[in-house]
């Protein structure tokens, strides 16, 4: 069955030989790792605790227990950030999927090993270059004195710079660009595991390439598509640096609100409540889609 | 070979334990980034090091995120001297982050305007205003007072800061017979300004952009930025409003509680308040000096934000009460975002 | 094969080339901008110079941050790898109930949004008063890279032929000796992949680090972010160019040392037919 990067999210690579392979190891070896997770859980616990404490404006001290922070989350301007986050994540995921599929297909099915290798390096390099470097690159491209505006102004096609940075569309471009490598890798893993004999059979039965693709390749690559969908959606849902730098304070996603409240308004309780909501939505999302992937996987 | 690798890994882990161990012992100054830091470095820090032999290092960041960092590292501060706005200085003080200044070690403090002596914990270094600034080539009607902003002739012309709405909130309240304490009085009036607003900005750079492109040719703008645009040749005018004064901002310096370098920190503040440095700061920032005798170039004299006499401070400046501003700012931002910025 | 078919193929190639260009194009702009000789960007640049490279390499906070990045990444790798090996061995070979549950626990940091982890660690770190040291940073990085380390090692361990270890044991080697001499060397591909992930993720980690680092502990991405927010000159373009170049070298070398297709589970039709 096709295994891909997203399985990291749900289940261990069950080998079926857990009890039989190699020398036995004391289960205690698990302890150091679990200890680290316990401390991490403590941090999340502190976050939960703060989300239920009263915020005292202008200070880091907290008051008594309250649910007010969660009520604040649904205030209009915050609700808008949540809505924007959902809309942007959906748009990003769909666009990323469309833009990544052809590249993934070429990566999995390309004939020339040299080109395939080049594609892989060109995909991996941005995957391994951090968010700051990649987002900064878009500031240079989209900015009012950036690459595109400079050229259009010089060519006389524009009189004043066209506002691309600090707009929702600008953030969207950055997010799609940011998500493409991971989507490509997941899709390519999925496509490469489709047995090519299916496609050959379809062709030999007289199906044209388009038909073969639509009727055979695409349906068989659905598990990969759905995995890519979950990962990129979840990833974009908690995106921070891209909206922070390309949104310029005008386009705010949930993560930016969390950061603003925590670091600029000292409102740790309010920020924590927002973070808890983000966490809950992420969990629900991953659970729902992981389940649907499983169901689809069984059909395939 | 392998044991060598392991040994260097262990060494790396040990080094990670003591981040301070690698650094020398300079005076650490926390300030805003960009032009602010560059100018402070050039005008204050470099000459200070030359004079005293004390090296200076910087921490840069926004007003509020630096306060957050100061709070979470309160037990042993990473910074010795902090530049911050006068009202946020109040939050440093109420959290016990600033130590009391020893005025005997800051002789220059005797020479500065009383408005700049913000408290016994922090002292002003320069002043500016947020006032009305407009493009004279795009706006034909003269603007003389804050109330003009509500004129329907300026529909979709105005740019406002959204990171700190204190200025327009205070003005609205004063125009309705209140002040920053009972700011609610101005709420209805401020909501009526919405049809005239073309854009909001969160950074100085964006504000200047909006002015340059003419997207928001009338702005509630930082005087320092307006002077900068004038130097670039843009026809902008700073208004000295007749109904309410320009909303004054004073940037201040304080010494972190618990620092081991209090002596050097006092010297640094005294140096920053000296007449020579003050004159340099005026030239660089186009901000008003706090030193009463600092010379100001002819073309800046009498301009908004550049107060050179006690008289001008009294008549042309509207200074918000620091405590009120510090305490209300989160509420102001939230109300402003929900009722003015939101569509 | 009709002419339509050929046309379709070329259209497909063009599409892929266009999409790859979209992915690569910002990088090229960064390189061009990094040689701009004025503080204010213009395209094409009016003149060329290396001054922003000089500025990037001599800016004190970048130097400090580079040292921090190096130390944090080394410490992260040094801690996460043994931790990952122990965990994977226990998960695969330990007498364990609820194997899937424990695995899910160890892999869970993957779905925790960065700001959530960052804020939680900030609150906890402030309460303990540890934020002046690098340890919260290192701890966070270890937790964040652990899922990738575990995943890479697990694939390797699952594919390992246990007969070799059994043979060694039957020849009288003790469990430690078997582990050092047989198991660990056989895990090498997984270890390389795990190390690669640990280093690259730690070097690039930004969101959590932003919350819990200070002026003295901050790592390169955080220092770069601060600079981008405060300055508009092309210093970051120069630094980015160096970063990108470094990454390319690592990826290129990694692709030669270990089969990256395999790391990302991309099988190639022909290779498979051969197998």
Q: What is the pLDDT of residues A3-28, one digit of tens each?
A: 333 344 334 444 444 444 667 788 88
In this complex, how many residue pairs, one in chain B and one in chain C, have their CB atoms less than 8 Å apart? 75
Does residue C80 sit at the A interface (CB-CB below 8 Å)? no
The alpha carbon of residue A232 is apart from the nearest alpha carbon of chain C, in Å, by 11
Chain A residue closest in CA terms to B213: A160
* C71 with B16: Cβ contact below 8 A: yes
Predicted local distance difference test score (pLDDT) of residue B6: 56
Facing C214 at nearest CB: one of B13, B73, B205: B73
The alpha carbon of residue A21 is apart from the nearest alpha carbon of chain C, in Å, by 5
pLDDT band of residue B24 (cuts 50, 70, 90) is very low
Percent of chain B with pLDDT over 90: 57
H-type helices in chain A, by residue range?
Answer: 31-51, 68-73, 76-109, 113-128, 131-142, 147-154, 168-192, 196-204, 209-212, 218-220, 222-237, 241-247, 254-259, 268-299
Q: What is the pLDDT of residues A115-143, one digit of tens each?
A: 888 898 888 888 788 889 999 999 999 98
Best of C40, C61, C70, C71 to substitute, by most chain B Cβ atoms within 10 angstroms, is C71
pLDDT of B313 over the 70 cut:
yes
Mean pLDDT, residues B52-66 taken together: 89
Predicted local distance difference test score (pLDDT) of residue B10: 58
Give residue A109's Cα distance to chain centre.
25
- Kind and range of the H or E run holding B55: none
- CA dist A278 and A262 (Å) reads 15
B57 to chain C: which residues are within 8 Å by CB?
Answer: 60
Mean pLDDT, residues B109-138 taken together: 93
* A77 with B341: Cβ contact below 8 A: yes
* C138 with B16: Cβ contact below 8 A: yes
CATH code, B128-248+321-341: 3.40.190.10
CATH code, B25-127+249-318: 3.40.190.10
pLDDT band of residue A298 (cuts 50, 70, 90) is low
Pick from B82, B104, B124, B74: which is nearest to B294 by CA? B124
Facing A264 at nearest CB: one of B65, B209, B337: B65
Q: What is the pLDDT of residues C97-130, one digit of tens each?
A: 888 899 989 998 988 899 999 999 999 998 888 8
What architecture is domain C35-274? Orthogonal Bundle (1.10)
Predicted local distance difference test score (pLDDT) of residue C209: 95
* A245 with C228: Cβ contact below 8 A: yes
pLDDT band of residue B23 (cuts 50, 70, 90) is very low
Judged by CB atoms within 8 Å, which residues 12-31 of B form the interface with C? 12-13, 15-20, 22-23, 28, 30
What's the first-to-final CA gap in chain B, in angstroms? 66
Best of A69, A248, A266 to substitute, by most chain B Cβ atoms within 10 angstroms, is A266
- CA dist B168 and B186 (Å) reads 9
Give residue A261's Cα distance to chain centre.
23
* B13 with C78: Cβ contact below 8 A: yes
Residues 6+ apart with CB under 8 A from C232: B205, C39, C40, C41
- CA dist B256 and C203 (Å) reads 32
Give me the residue spans of the domains in chain C: 35-274
Residues of chain B with CATH 3.40.190.10: 25-127+249-318, 128-248+321-341
Low-confidence ranges of chain C (pLDDT < 70): 1-3, 40, 258-275
Best of B75, B197, B337 to substitute, by most chain A Cβ atoms within 10 angstroms, is B337
Q: What are phi and psi of C265, to 5 degrees?
A: 60, 30
pLDDT of B122 over the 60 cut:
yes
pLDDT of A99 over the 80 cut:
yes
Comparing A83-92, A117-126, B118-127, C10-19, the range with the smallest average pLDDT is A117-126
Burial of C172 (0-12, 13-18, 19+ CB in 10 A): exposed
Burial of B193 (0-12, 13-18, 19+ CB in 10 A): middle
Q: What is the pLDDT of residues B248-281, one digit of tens each?
A: 999 999 999 999 999 999 999 999 999 999 999 9
Give me the residue spans of the domains in chain A: 76-299
A76-299 is a CATH 1.10.1200.10 domain = no
Does residue A75 sit at the B interface (CB-CB below 8 Å)? yes
The alpha carbon of residue A34 is apart from the nearest alpha carbon of chain C, in Å, by 7
């Amino acid at each position: 069955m096709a295994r891909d990067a997203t399985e990291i999210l749900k289940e261990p690579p069950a080998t079926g030989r857990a009890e039989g392979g190699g020398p036995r190891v004391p289960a205690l070896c698990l302890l150091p790792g679990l200890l680290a997770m316990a401390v991490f859980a403590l941090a999340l616990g502190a976050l939960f605790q703060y989300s239920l404490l009263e915020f005292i404006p202008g200070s880091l001290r907290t008051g008594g227990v309250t649910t007010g922070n969660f009520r604040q989350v649904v205030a209009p301007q915050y609700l808008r950030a949540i809505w924007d986050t959902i809309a942007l994540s959906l748009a990003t995921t769909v666009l990323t999927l469309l833009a990544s599929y052809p590249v993934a297909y070429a990566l999995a099915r390309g004939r020339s090993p040299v080109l395939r290798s080049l594609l892989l390096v060109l995909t991996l390099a941005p995957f391994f270059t951090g968010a700051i470097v990649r987002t900064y690159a878009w500031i240079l491209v989209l900015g009012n004195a950036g690459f595109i505006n400079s050229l259009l102004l010089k060519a006389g096609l524009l009189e004043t710079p066209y506002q691309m940075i600090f707009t929702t569309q600008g953030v969207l471009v950055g997010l799609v660009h940011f998500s493409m490598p991971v989507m490509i890798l997941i899709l390519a893993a999925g496509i490469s595991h489709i047995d090519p004999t299916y496609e050959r059979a379809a062709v030999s039965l007289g199906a044209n390439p388009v038909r073969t693709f639509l009727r055979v390749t695409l349906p068989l690559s659905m598990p990969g598509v759905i995995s890519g969908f979950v990962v990129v959606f979840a990833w974009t849902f908690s995106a921070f640096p891209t909206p922070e730098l390309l949104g310029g304070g005008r386009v705010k996603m949930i993560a930016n609100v969390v950061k603003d409240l925590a670091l600029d308004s000292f409102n740790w309780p309010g920020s924590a409540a927002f973070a808890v909501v983000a966490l809950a939505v992420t969990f629900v999302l991953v659970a729902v889609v992981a389940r649907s992937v499983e169901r689809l996987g069984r059909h395939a | 070979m392998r044991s060598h690798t392991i040994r260097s890994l262990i060494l790396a882990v040990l080094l990670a334990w003591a981040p301070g161990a690698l650094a020398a012992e300079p005076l650490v100054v926390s300030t805003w980034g960009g032009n602010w830091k560059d100018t402070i470095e050039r005008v204050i820090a470099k000459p200070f090091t030359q004079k005293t032999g004390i090296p200076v290092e910087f921490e840069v960041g926004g007003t509020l995120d630096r306060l957050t960092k100061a709070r979470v590292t309160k037990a042993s501060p990473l910074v010795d001297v902090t530049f911050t706005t006068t009202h946020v200085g109040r939050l440093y003080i109420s959290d016990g982050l600033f130590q009391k200044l020893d005025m005997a070690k800051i002789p220059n403090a005797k020479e500065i305007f009383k408005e700049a002596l913000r408290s016994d914990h922090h002292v002003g270094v320069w002043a500016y205003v947020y006032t009305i600034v407009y493009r004279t080539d795009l706006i034909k009607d003269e603007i003389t007072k804050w109330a003009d902003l509500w004129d329907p002739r300026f529909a979709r012309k105005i740019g406002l800061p959204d990171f700190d709405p204190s200025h327009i909130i205070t003005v609205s309240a004063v125009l309705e017979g209140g002040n920053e304490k009972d700011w609610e009085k101005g709420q209805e009036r401020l909501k009526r300004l919405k049809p005239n607003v073309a854009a909001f900005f969160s950074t100085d750079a964006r504000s200047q952009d909006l002015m340059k492109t003419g997207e928001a040719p009338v702005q509630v703008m930082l005087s320092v930025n307006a002077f900068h645009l004038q130097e670039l040749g843009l026809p902008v005018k700073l208004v000295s409003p007749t109904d309410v004064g320009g909303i004054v901002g004073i940037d201040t310096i304080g010494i972190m509680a618990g620092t081991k370098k209090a002596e050097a920190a006092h010297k640094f503040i005294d140096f920053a308040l000296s007449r020579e440095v003050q004159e340099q700061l005026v030239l660089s920032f186009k901000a008003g000096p706090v030193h009463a005798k600092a010379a100001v170039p002819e073309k800046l004299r009498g301009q908004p934000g550049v107060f050179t006499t006690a008289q001008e401070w009294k008549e042309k400046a509207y200074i918000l009460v620091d405590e009120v501003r510090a305490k209300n700012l989160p509420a102001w931002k939230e109300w402003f975002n929900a009722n003015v910025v939101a569509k | 094969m009709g002419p339509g078919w050929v046309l379709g193929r070329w259209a497909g190639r063009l599409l892929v080339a266009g999409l790859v260009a979209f992915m690569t194009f910002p990088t090229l702009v960064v390189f061009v901008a990094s040689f701009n000789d004025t503080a204010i960007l213009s395209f094409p640049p009016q003149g060329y110079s290396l001054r922003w490279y000089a500025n990037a390499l001599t800016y004190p906070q970048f130097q400090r941050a580079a040292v921090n990045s190096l130390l944090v990444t080394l410490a992260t790798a040094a801690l996460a790898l043994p931790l990952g090996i122990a965990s994977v061995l226990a998960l695969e070979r330990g007498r364990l109930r609820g194997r899937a549950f424990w695995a899910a626990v160890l892999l869970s940091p993957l779905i925790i949004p960065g700001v959530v982890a960052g804020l939680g660690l900030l609150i906890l770190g402030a309460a303990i008063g540890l934020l002046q040291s690098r340890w919260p940073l290192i701890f966070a990085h270890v937790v964040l890279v652990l899922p990738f380390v575990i995943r890479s090692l697990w694939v390797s361990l699952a594919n390992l032929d246990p007969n070799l270890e059994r043979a060694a044991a039957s020849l009288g080697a003790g469990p430690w000796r078997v582990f050092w001499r047989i198991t660990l060397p056989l895990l090498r591909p997984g270890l390389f992949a795990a190390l690669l992930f640990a280093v690259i993720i730690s070097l690039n980690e930004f969101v959590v680090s932003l919350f819990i680092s200070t002026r003295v502990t901050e790592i390169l991405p955080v220092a770069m972010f601060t600079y981008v927010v405060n300055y508009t000159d092309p210093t970051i373009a120069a630094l980015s160019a160096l970063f990108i170049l470094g990454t390319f070298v690592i990826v290129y070398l990694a692709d030669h040392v270990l089969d990256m297709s395999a790391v990302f589970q991309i099988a190639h039709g022909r290779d498979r037919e051969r197998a």
